[in-house]
Amino acid sequence: MSSGTAEKMAATVEQLREQIRKLQAAPRKYLATLRTGVEAFDALLPAGGLPLGQVVELWGEAASGRTSLGLRAVASAHREGRLCAYVDGPWELYPPAAMAAGVDPSRLLLVRPKTAEQLAWSAVQLVRSGAFACVVLDLTRAPPGTGKGEGGVRLSPAEGKRLMEAAVRGGTLLLLLTAPEAPADGMMRLRTEARGDEGLSVEVVRSRQGGIGSRALVPWRELYPELGEWETPWGGELLPAEDVTVPELAREQAPREGHRGIMGQRPGRDVPMPSLRASLDAGSALH
């Protein structure tokens, strides 16, 4: 090996060492948290963002904003060039809505297990792989066709332990979306609640990092920046509050004998209810 080649290799090695030293000296807060970009929500969390390597539970009723917060976390990871996975228990993730929240479909692995028993198992494998910065596990309902009803999927203690161990070892943020009747056992539990036109209320009800009882109100416009000035997430409009006087209308007195049909008879009482075909034929004959 020539002296010139040896010098180039030594210089390359020194550059690599310098880059490693810079990475090791980087602030731990940046490396250990994932900010969603929703300022009111991030400020509520003890670490200033969602902690990587932990299990965080977004717990609330349907339409309480839990899925929207999860998608904002995924979108934040995508902006940093990272990969994410989404285990869709109810099979209800709507791709256009996810993309509107900033999710990059080319960086998202969507998994839809066919049974409720496969939900936790799938999440464990994804977290253990170490390939994803954030994995979302939607436990709000069981997969369709399983006959599990409308309630949420409850994790067993063994499943919860495996998920927690996998998240800690892999350094992955595992977000659990859970229903009120089936809470999980995450390291941090955040209760979400829609507050009408005001926005989304988020409360820390469980945390190993402190801050229990803290609450923040996230305006809808901050959670959904694509909304217009008076639009709401459910498709309606916010109207300025004003006093409206509603006139009292006279109530019509209903006849005591009840409603009577074309022949003066009461359907379901005097005679059997006519079939749909018979009604249509009778209407044609009148014309």
Average pLDDT over residues 159-176: 94
Above pLDDT 90, what percent of the chain? 54
Alpha-carbon separation of residue 262 from 134, 273, 275, 283 (angstroms): 65, 12, 14, 10
- Residues 116, 152: Cα–Cα separation, whole Å: 10
- Residue 243: strand, helix, or coil: coil
Of the chain, the percentage scoring pLDDT greater than 70 comes to 74
Helical spans, DSSP H, in the chain: 3-25, 28-32, 39-44, 66-79, 95-100, 117-129, 157-170, 220-223, 276-286
Query: Count of residues for the chain?
Result: 287
- pLDDT tens for 225-244 read 766 555 655 554 444 444 44
More confident residue, 123 or 286: 123
**List of residues 6+ apart from 217 with CB closer than 8 A:** 40, 195, 198, 199, 200, 201, 202
Q: What is the pTM of this model?
A: 0.70
d(C-alpha 51, C-alpha 28), whole Å: 11
The more confident residue out of 102 and 246 is: 102
- Select the more confidently predicted residue: 27 or 131: 131
Please give the structure tokens belonging to residue 73: 């976390």
Q: What value, to the nearest 5°, has the Cα angle with vertex 162 and ends 177 and 129?
A: 85
Could you tell me the pLDDT band of residue 38, with boundaries at 50, 70 and 90? very high
Specify the pLDDT at position 242.
45
**Could you tell me the pLDDT band of residue 150, with boundaries at 50, 70 and 90?**
confident
d(Cα 16, Cα 18) in Å, to the nearest integer?
Answer: 5
Tokens (6 digits) for 84: 């994410």
**Res. 140 pLDDT band, cuts 50 70 90:** very high
What is the torsion angle, in degrees rounded to the nearest 10, for the CA atoms of residue 29, residue 48, residue 59 and residue 163? 0
For residues 41-63, average pLDDT:
93
- The residue behind tokens 């059997």 is 272
pLDDT confidence tier of residue 1, bands split at 50, 70 and 90:
low
Assign 250 a pLDDT band (cuts: 50, 70, 90).
low
Q: Which of 75-79, 143-147, 276-280 has the lowest mean pLDDT?
A: 276-280
What pLDDT, on a 0 to 100 scale, did the predictor assign at position 19?
Answer: 74
Whole-number pLDDT of residue 7: 81
- Helix (H) or strand (E) segment spanning residue 109: strand 108-111
**Mean pLDDT computed over every residue of the chain:** 80
Q: What is the mean pLDDT of residues 160-183?
A: 94
